[in-house]
Structure 1
Amino acid sequence: MSELQETFISHLVELRDRLLRAMVAVIVVFVCLMPWAGEIYDLLAKPMMNTLPEGTHMIATGVVTPFFVPVKVTMMVSFVLALPFVLYQAWAFIAPGLYAHERRLGLPLVLGSTLLFLLGMAFCYFFVFGTVFKFIAEFAPKSIVPAPDIEQYLSFVMTLFIAFGLTFEVPVAVILLVKAGVVSISKLREVRPYVIVGAFVIAAIITPPDVVSQFMLAVPMCLLYEVGILLAKFVSKRAGTEEPERVEPDLDRLEAPEPDRK
């Protein structure tokens, strides 16, 4: 019992050390970026500013909002930049408890999911924001002068960042479901119509109430679902060739040797 407790405590100590290292990495990046917090927020607000009428600016309704909002944005950027080190700490903690074949699959999934999440955020920033904000600006009546609040803008873009980042994780989710034996590839193909309908329903709930942003979230989700099926099929075939299933002999059915008749 004491040995079990010592093992449990050692794991807790290691987990604490890994979390502290990850937090220190984020804080170090944050401190380095803090002098440019205003420029970082301006970069985040650029898609919106490009669609506002000339001479129009965003507003801040709170007293300390002009300070805290750029700080929040800088913290978010710091976490994204330190994400590889954070994920390395998580991987170093769980890798010793995995089998060899699980480590071979786990590391590509961790790296792939990170890259896909960042690609989802980049797609949202470079393509979605400009299209959505332009559509809203053109739809707004001419008698209205838009002046978005910076805190509401941050909440809006964070929601879309998370939505598109998670959307781009669909291939990873499909691969994990297939590898875990929860669902087969043939079943994933059968439920394709329901997935398409569900993608548009989710897009209608998450995105602003315009058709453009809904399509820009639902269509990539459907395409990435198909990519996930193809990758799951490839991974399954590769696993089948590299690690063929070994059939253990049934000892009960082995025939006893016939006696030597002389």
Structure 2
Amino acid sequence: MLIYFIELRRRLIKYLICLSFCLLGSFYYSQNLLHQVLAPLLMTLTGDDKLVLTKIGDTIFLPLELALTCAIILSLPYALWQLWQFVMPALHKDERKIGRIFILAGQFLFVTGGIFGYKLILPWMFNFLVQYRTPYLHLMLDADNAISLTLKMVLIFGLCFQLPLICMFLVWIEWVSSVQLRSIRRYMLVGAFIVGMVLAPPDVCSQVLIAVPLYCLYELGLILVKFSRL
């Protein structure tokens, strides 16, 4: 048992070193990161609208918090790799193969989902929210709130895009069967539009833009389950 704790400690130290380098790099480029995170909102603002800081400490803590968040995201693949190296010796050959596929596919889908939310959904959402106001009122938006909202939406879409893997995993551990997953298609379609209504502003186009990819991801999960013969 002591050997496992020593090995876990060694891999944790490696990850913390990686996280530290990512944090230093992210903080060095924090101003560029700040502009990129706020870009979907900035492109919708008019000349009279402003982003403001409501606390004096935000001049330091806001870039630092953003740098830490970006560092965690950047170091996440390395963390998963170290975790995988720790548990891999206890797995069978087939389990190792499936595990590698899940890890690589999960990272790809997370990045794809984050980009989808950042490039497509956030500009639509911010544009609707900014335009949906009384004409003679000007916006003074809290930059901290705007950054938090942007990062949360990117995270949500990154997680939503894990749906195909979730379907495969549930079948793999025999919690559900592929037949059961196919039988709830209509409910998943309704659920996708409910998620679209919750995440998107009251704009039909935005809701469809969320619901359709979500349902397509569910269908992709069914296809992967079928061809992988789980």
* Amino acid across the alignment from 2:162: E
8 Å Cα contact 1:69-1:154 kept in structure 2: no
* Amino acid across the alignment from 1:45: L
**Does 2:33 align with 1:40?**
yes
**Does 2:121 align with 1:128?**
yes
Q: Mapping of 1:21-32 within 5 angstroms?
A: 21-32=14-25
Tell me the distance in 2 between the aligned counterparts of 1:144 and 1:17. 56
8 Å Cα contact 2:38-2:150 kept in structure 1: no
Moved more, 80-89 or 43-52: 80-89
* Amino acid across the alignment from 2:26: L
Specify which of 3, 8, 14 is matched with residue 10 of structure 1: 3
Q: Secondary structure of the equivalent of 2:45? A: coil
Moved more, 43-52 or 81-90: 81-90
Larger RCO: 1 or 2 (CA < 8 Å, sep 6+): 2
8 Å Cα contact 1:164-1:217 kept in structure 2: no
The equivalent of 1:217 in structure 2 is: 210
Structure of greater Rg: 1
Tell me the distance in 1 between the aligned counterparts of 2:88 and 2:167. 22
Q: Secondary structure of the equivalent of 1:178? A: helix
**Does 2:192 align with 1:199?**
yes
Moved more, 227-236 or 29-38: 29-38
Specify which of 157, 161, 175 is matched with residue 150 of structure 2: 157
The equivalent of 1:86 in structure 2 is: 79
* Amino acid across the alignment from 1:13: I
Tell me the distance in 1 between the aligned counterparts of 2:46 and 2:39. 13
| RMSD over aligned Cα atoms | 1.7
Identity %: 28
Deviation string for 1:173-193 (max 9, x for gaps)? 011111122212121111111
Q: Mapping of 1:223-262 within 5 angstroms?
A: 223-236=216-229
The structural deviation recorded for 1:208 is 4.9
8 Å Cα contact 1:117-1:166 kept in structure 2: yes
The structural deviation recorded for 1:209 is 4.1
8 Å Cα contact 1:51-1:137 kept in structure 2: yes
Count of aligned pairs between the two proteins = 229
The equivalent of 2:164 in structure 1 is: 171
Tell me the distance in 1 between the aligned counterparts of 2:150 and 2:202. 16
Q: Secondary structure of the equivalent of 2:56? A: coil
Q: 1:218 to 1:122 in 2, by over 3 A?
A: same
Structure 2 gaps of 5+ residues are: none
Tell me the distance in 2 between the aligned counterparts of 1:202 and 1:125. 17
Tell me the distance in 1 between the aligned counterparts of 2:155 and 2:22. 21
* Amino acid across the alignment from 1:126: K
